[in-house]
């Protein structure tokens, strides 16, 4: 089956199994290993990264399957179709995947409505946000701020995706100066929203693995200076180390799976 079709069929099957309440029977008993981080109580330490449940419409099912937390998205201010297909490639012998999906999603408003309907989920819910492809980098902060405001009422934490390799120029925001400006804007709005709503929602930033030691040091200073709540490591990689023998290795996009680990 085509990989992207398989992805959609899997999510559909999970939603059906959740409605029939059979997932716990299939998955068995999930070990309890609770941990508290930044005031969030995770029922266990195994979570689902962003990119699987892009529309936030399968949250209940992933919770019933045993995930202690689910991060949905990436969601953007406006709906967008993503990149042209095919855009998802299996590298089976290397236990890897290359994708260049391009933030395909129905937009933050639709995602938030889906989250509101996930009333049976008992874990921690993260919302991963990004900018639209057509938004120039100099205006990127406005996209992130719009998503931050929209996600605030429903998110346990918010993840800033400024490291996907599949939106042209997005990783330029990881340079120290633009990262500092973006984070300062987000932290200011976080304070405003916390004062208005009486709840604190941590902000995490998701970084690329393709950074030098010098760049890591620069970003670390920015994150510490601006008071970033947490860090997510990592997004997919542009490296093809370990998969060169596969004919698919030349496909554009981000590599994940065993080689990235």
Output phi, psi for 90, to 5 deg. Answer: -90, 135
Sign of CA dihedral 55, 256, 40, 175: negative
- What tokens does 153 get? 């009422």
Active site residues: 164
Instruction: Please check whether residue 141 is in contact with residue 182, taking contact to mean a CB–CB distance below 8 angstroms.
Output: yes
Instruction: Please check whether residue 134 is in contact with residue 102, taking contact to mean a CB–CB distance below 8 angstroms.
Output: no
Helix (H, G, I), strand (E, B) or coil at 54: coil
153: left (phi over 0), alpha (psi -120 to 50) or beta: alpha
- Interatomic CA distance for residues 205 and 230, integer angstroms: 7
Relative to beta strand 40-42, strand 35-37 is antiparallel
> What is the 8-class DSSP label of residue 146?
H
- Interatomic CA distance for residues 122 and 125, integer angstroms: 9
- What tokens does 181 get? 């400006």
* DSSP alpha helix (H) spans, the chain: 3-19, 23-27, 59-64, 108-116, 140-151, 176-197, 213-226
Instruction: Please check whether residue 186 is in contact with residue 144, taking contact to mean a CB–CB distance below 8 angstroms.
Output: yes
- Interatomic CA distance for residues 172 and 40, integer angstroms: 31
């Amino acid at each position: 089956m085509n990989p992207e079709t398989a992805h959609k069929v899997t999510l559909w099957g999970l939603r059906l199994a959740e409605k029939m309440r059979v997932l716990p029977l299939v998955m068995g008993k999930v070990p309890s290993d609770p941990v508290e981080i930044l005031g969030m109580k995770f029922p266990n330490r195994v979570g689902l990264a962003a990119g699987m449940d892009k529309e936030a419409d399968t949250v209940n099912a992933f919770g019933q399957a045993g995930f202690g937390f689910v991060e949905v998205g990436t969601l953007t201010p406006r709906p967008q179709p993503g990149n042209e297909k095919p855009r998802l490639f299996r590298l089976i012998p290397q236990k890897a995947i290359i994708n260049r999906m391009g933030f395909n999603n129905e937009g933050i408003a639709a995602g938030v409505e889906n989250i509101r309907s996930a009333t049976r989920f008992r874990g921690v819910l993260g919302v991963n946000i990004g900018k639209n492809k057509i938004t120039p980098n100099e205006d990127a902060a406005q996209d992130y701020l719009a998503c931050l405001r929209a996600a605030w009422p429903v998110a346990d934490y918010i993840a800033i995706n400024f490291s996907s390799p599949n939106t042209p120029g997005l990783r330029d925001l990881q340079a120290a100066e633009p990262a500092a400006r973006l984070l300062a804007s987000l932290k200011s709005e976080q304070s405003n929203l916390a004062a208005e709503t009486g709840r604190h929602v941590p902000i995490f930033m998701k970084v690329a693995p393709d950074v030098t030691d010098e760049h890591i040091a620069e970003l670390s200073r920015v994150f510490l200076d601006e008071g970033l709540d947490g860090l997510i490591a990592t997004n997919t990689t542009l490296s093809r180390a370990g998969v060169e023998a596969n004919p698919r290795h030349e496909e554009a996009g981000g590599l994940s799976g065993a080689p990235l680990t």
